[in-house]
């Protein structure tokens, strides 16, 4: 399993006062259809289709943001809360929420045990501020899910979403890049080459 630098869900508190919450926190990458043991916090090396789902948030701004009371929800099939964050997320930092962590939060707070419940056929995820306003919203379809492929921004925090299919390539590859929970989305997507374009490289 990939070793990732993950900012823990407890998010280390900083001595500096956090800047006011703003739209700089974005949903940056997600995996709705894991086929491997992705979660580093479930205490085992066993694959579970629900425990190993994940959502990555990014503070795309330069100022720290107090995430206390921010929540995630499924905006389509199940409007109940999936998880509540706490602590401060520094500018440029990421936090990854795994399915087993959502289960644990639901158990501890009396919510129905659904986990992240990322639908492989498509879904809508919302990040909601403590005042009830929606900070970030992402919609994806069945075309954006595939075993061990993630759907994420390219580059981090950007407006373009791509399929990271390096571990289970489509034909032709969507990007040829691996999913990167807790790490920057880097690399250049694979460029589709037709035989005519390949021949053109060697013509005078």
pTM of structure: 0.82
Q: How far apart are CA 50 and CA 65, in angstroms?
A: 29
Model pLDDT for residues 126-179, shown as the tens digit of each residue = 999 999 999 999 999 999 999 999 999 999 999 999 999 999 999 998 999 999
In a domain, 16, yes or no: no
CATH of the domain at 107: 2.60.40
* 142-170 core/surface letters (b: 16 or more CB in 10 A; e: else): eebbbebbbbbbbebeeeebbbbbbbbee
Per-residue CA distances from 166 to 107, 152, 157, 190, 196 (Å): 35, 13, 20, 10, 25
Model confidence pLDDT, tens digit, residues 65-102? 999 999 999 876 556 799 999 999 999 999 999 999 99
Count of structural domains within the chain? 1
Please indicate, yes or no, if residue 115 is contained in any of the structural domains: yes
State the DSSP code for 173: -
**Nearest 5°: phi and psi at 52?**
-95, 5
d(Cα 16, Cα 64) in Å, to the nearest integer?
A: 8
Q: Is 101 helix (H, G, I), strand (E, B) or coil?
A: helix
Burial of 27 (0-12, 13-18, 19+ CB in 10 A): buried
Q: Is residue 94 part of a domain?
A: yes
Q: Which pLDDT score, from 0 to 100, does residue 157 have?
A: 97
Domain membership flag for residue 113: yes
Provide the β-strand partners of residue 128.
Answer: 71, 134
In a domain, 4, yes or no: no
């Amino acid at each position: 399993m990939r070793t990732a630098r993950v900012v823990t869900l407890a998010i280390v508190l900083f001595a500096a006062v956090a800047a006011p919450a703003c739209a700089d926190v974005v949903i940056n990458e997600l995996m709705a259809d894991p086929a491997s043991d992705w979660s580093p916090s479930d205490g085992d090396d066993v694959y579970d289709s629900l425990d190993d789902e994940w959502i990555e948030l990014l503070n795309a701004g330069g100022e720290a943001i107090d995430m206390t009371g921010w929540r995630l929800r499924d905006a389509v099939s199940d409007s109940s809360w999936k998880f509540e964050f706490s602590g401060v997320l520094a500018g440029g930092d990421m936090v990854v929420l795994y399915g087993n962590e959502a289960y644990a939060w639901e158990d501890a707070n009396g919510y129905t045990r659904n986990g992240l419940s990322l639908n492989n056929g498509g879904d809508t995820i919302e990040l909601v501020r403590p005042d009830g306003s929606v900070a970030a919203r992402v919609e994806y379809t069945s075309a954006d899910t595939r075993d061990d492929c993630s759907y994420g921004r390219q580059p981090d925090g950007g407006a373009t979403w791509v399929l990271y299919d390096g571990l289970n390539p489509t034909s032709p590859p969507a990007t040829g890049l691996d999913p990167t929970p807790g790490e920057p989305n880097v690399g250049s997507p694979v460029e589709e080459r037709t035989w005519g374009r390949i021949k053109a490289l060697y013509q005078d």
